[in-house]
Structure 1
Amino acid sequence: MHSSSTSGSRLSLNSFFRALPIKTLVLSTALIPFSINASKTNQYNAVVNSSKLTVVAVSNPSIVFKDGKFKHGFGYDLAHNYAQSLNVKLDFQTVSDNATALKMVAQGKANFAITTASMQTIEAKRLTSFSASCGDFNSLQKNGLNTEINWVFKQAEDPLTATASGFVCQSKQNGATQQLAAFYNRNVVKKDDWNVIQRDLSKRLPIYKASFQRSAQQYDLDWHLLAAIAYQESYLKPDSVSPTGVRGLMMLTNGTAKEMGVRNRNDPAQSIQGGAKYFDMMLSRYSYISNPDRRWYALVAYNMGPGAVESIQKRIKAQGKDPNDWMNLYNYLTRNQAQNGRYKQAVQYVTRIRAYLEHIKTTPRLLEI
């Protein structure tokens, strides 16, 4: 995903191509040789000069999930990382269908589109495209993501198209594609389990909705997210208790409860208020990290404690990597989860809450509660 900073000089196109193996520059339409300085009006120059990359995408679970003022998703994160590599701001727009997205690219209203349109449809519009996974269909398929996701550009010979193709294939080679696909795994919750989850939410969510909304408003949070956290913590059962002594709807430790002003952890309203306050503290703690990464950091800290997250960040930094990039934290947790049960728990915790949040926000019956 992405860190909070885009510091550093803009990507040099010449150095970019020197660093890329020729085989990474694979387009569905063969690249036409070009001179970087020959055209002053190409898309690459326009993006760099305006410091803005405009991307249009079809709303799709494999591409982008819009959550209020925030967005996340496999396609979104990959595009954000590309914008970051160019040191420009991402303007990410969503549309309802492939035809609209392709039209915006053809008309020059977007620098490129992320779609699931067929190659035949794209070529009929005289546009060019390549796989968003650089052909790593296995990583997408095993995580329940659409293997037909592609990036569509107006011209194959534009430097922006070439750098994007190189970036996508580098992401495949360095493992970033596999990491993103794993985090956005659509199979993280088994199909049969969704029936139970749907039943639980339909039955219990109406009871605590007012408390979730009240606490969310107090701390400027999304009440659906608080509900997703609570379901992961306790299945929305206020009398839940773990072997380690955490209890209540939001499963607070005794120490955290006291710190948050919660006198009775088994009282649903108090537990929700305390959990909201603590999660807000975690978000504030990582205010230097941009969203949606900040949200994932805050959730890991809610689960493991901020001290544990800080220790991991130090190890990541010692490895010469950005400690404020969610994919680096996620990769560290997954690589070491076999040796540390808390890491495995944290990975499941964040991915399931993300899945629950998306489910709540896309299920009409739950939204009507």
Structure 2
Amino acid sequence: MRSSSLSGSRRCLNSIFNSLPLKTLILSTALIPFYSINASKTNQYNAVVNSSKLTVVAVANPSIVFKDGQYKHGFAYDLVNDYAQNLNVKLDFKTVPDNATALKMVAQGQANFAITTATMQTVEAKQLTSFSATCGDFTSLKKNGLNTELNWVFKHADDPLTATASGFVCQSKQNGTIQQLASFYNRNVVKKDDWNIIQRDLSNRMPIYQASFKKTAQQYNLDWHFLAAMGYQESYLKPDSVSPTGVRGIMMLTNQTAKAMGVSNRTDPAQSIQGGAKYFDMMLSRYSHIPNPDRHWFALVAYNMGPGAVDGVQKRIKAQGKDPNNWINFYEYLTRNQAQNGRYKQAIHYVTRIRAYLEHIKSDPKLLEI
């Protein structure tokens, strides 16, 4: 009887938010905090607001989250992080090895909700309720190689937190955030057949420059695997690389940037890595007002096409009435205008491939042993 009731509640919740126009959706979710004041003190929404913390547990899955050193990023992680910011609370994000553990933590009140790949039947058998993590936008997930079974799981269907979360996800679908996030976290950004060559290159070349990457990364409090991923995208880790525009070395520095960073010989691996890390650290500092992981993506674009170009894009985004410091807004602008501006297309290619290389390095035990 409980399972049937939950199924009806879930379908009702999804159908309501799927059918609402955006304006109505915003207004309806905006009223929920007012409702929650008069609701039970034990409901999840009140608990989150009163503690200023949203606790979310998730299954370790490439479509959900990837931990890059002390930072996290990923399709589902970024979306729930945006939701926490929407509630003006801090996100406490935890990963577990399987769906059963995640569902148990929600049922026992150890998490406000979970992000899982569990089926509806499994969720309802635990007397919980769930809805699609994309408000039904399975196409965006499928074409980008992401898991289409992602869902957000809550303890009660009638809790205000469940309603605001469902409203937020469907709003994200309508305003294009779901589509852009899926595009940025595309699992197919590197062709499957290319990974064998990449693996060979990294296995043969990373050990040669490991000491320089580690020493320099420690100096600037960076992850040396992140620097190595940048170096591979720049030059395939070949110190004698030269581009048609004259940039050269492992980190492909321009002559002007090299001089500014104190590099006298761009083809010297240690100097190139030092100069590239120093410049990237400067870009991170330039965008220190932007929270991670977005800060890293902005810094990478600035490294690739210059901070002045990034400033120009941000000004145009701001003129459109959008937040210029939001990565998805920035990424969406580059994507929409890449046909007219080759630099935008190059920047998208640059950032998405470095992300893919980093995840590959971090996920391969053999490369981590280097």
**TM (normalized to structure 2)?**
0.91
The 1:362/1:35 distance shift into structure 2, 3 A limit, reads: closer
Matched with 2:264 is 263
User: Is 2:252 aligned against 1:254?
Assistant: no
- Offset of 1:79 from its aligned partner? 0.3
**1:312-343 deviations in whole A, cap 9, x for unaligned?**
11111111111111111111110000000000
User: Is 2:117 aligned against 1:116?
Assistant: yes
The 1:212/1:18 distance shift into structure 2, 3 A limit, reads: closer
Matched with 2:292 is 291
**TM (normalized to structure 1)?**
0.91
Matched with 1:45 is 46
Separation in 1 of the partners of 2:51 and 2:64?
Answer: 25
Residue segments in structure 1 that go unaligned for 5+ positions in a row: 1-15, 26-33
Q: Which amino acid aligns with 2:274?
A: Q
Identity of counterpart residues, as a percentage? 81
Q: Retained in 1: the 8 A contact 2:22–2:174? A: no
Separation in 2 of the partners of 1:233 and 1:322?
Answer: 30
The 1:149/1:18 distance shift into structure 2, 3 A limit, reads: closer
Matched with 2:85 is 84
Matched with 1:12 is none
Of Structure 1 and Structure 2, the greater helix share is in 2
Q: Which amino acid aligns with 1:145?
A: L
The 1:318/1:96 distance shift into structure 2, 3 A limit, reads: same
**Pairs within 5 Å for 1:157-236:** 157-236=158-237
Residue segments in structure 2 that go unaligned for 5+ positions in a row: 1-19, 30-34
**Pairs within 5 Å for 1:90-101:** 90-101=91-102
Matched with 1:276 is 277
Separation in 2 of the partners of 1:68 and 1:230?
Answer: 18
Separation in 1 of the partners of 2:86 and 2:250?
Answer: 42
Separation in 1 of the partners of 2:100 and 2:89?
Answer: 27
- Offset of 1:21 from its aligned partner? 4.3
Matched with 1:332 is 333
- Offset of 1:275 from its aligned partner? 0.4
Q: Which amino acid aligns with 1:307?
A: G
**1:61-113 deviations in whole A, cap 9, x for unaligned?**
00000111100000100101111111111111111111111011000010000
Separation in 1 of the partners of 2:24 and 2:103?
Answer: 28
Separation in 2 of the partners of 1:90 and 1:201?
Answer: 35
- Offset of 1:38 from its aligned partner? 3.3
Separation in 1 of the partners of 2:56 and 2:257?
Answer: 42
**Pairs within 5 Å for 1:48-59:** 48-59=49-60
Q: Retained in 2: the 8 A contact 1:247–1:266? A: yes
Separation in 1 of the partners of 2:149 and 2:171?
Answer: 19
Secondary structure at the residue paired with 1:167?
helix
Separation in 2 of the partners of 1:366 and 1:18?
Answer: 46
Q: Which amino acid aligns with 2:348?
A: V
Q: Retained in 1: the 8 A contact 2:36–2:46? A: no
Q: Retained in 2: the 8 A contact 1:101–1:113? A: yes
Separation in 2 of the partners of 1:166 and 1:20?
Answer: 10
**1:261-309 deviations in whole A, cap 9, x for unaligned?**
1010000111001000000000011111110000000000000000100
Separation in 2 of the partners of 1:38 and 1:319?
Answer: 38
Separation in 2 of the partners of 1:21 and 1:106?
Answer: 28
Q: Which amino acid aligns with 1:326?
A: W
Q: Which amino acid aligns with 1:69?
A: Q
The 1:41/1:351 distance shift into structure 2, 3 A limit, reads: same
Secondary structure at the residue paired with 1:152?
strand
The 1:18/1:144 distance shift into structure 2, 3 A limit, reads: closer
User: Is 2:353 aligned against 1:357?
Assistant: no
Matched with 2:367 is 366
Q: Retained in 2: the 8 A contact 1:316–1:322? A: yes
Q: Retained in 2: the 8 A contact 1:20–1:166? A: no
Q: Which amino acid aligns with 1:232?
A: Q
- Offset of 1:229 from its aligned partner? 0.2
Where has structure 1 moved over 6 Å in runs of 4 or more?
none
Q: Retained in 1: the 8 A contact 2:53–2:91? A: yes
The 1:225/1:97 distance shift into structure 2, 3 A limit, reads: same
Q: Which amino acid aligns with 2:234?
A: E
Separation in 1 of the partners of 2:226 and 2:247?
Answer: 20
Matched with 2:135 is 134
Separation in 2 of the partners of 1:206 and 1:125?
Answer: 49
Separation in 2 of the partners of 1:173 and 1:311?
Answer: 27
Provide the aligned length of Structure 1 versus Structure 2.
345
- Offset of 1:17 from its aligned partner? 11
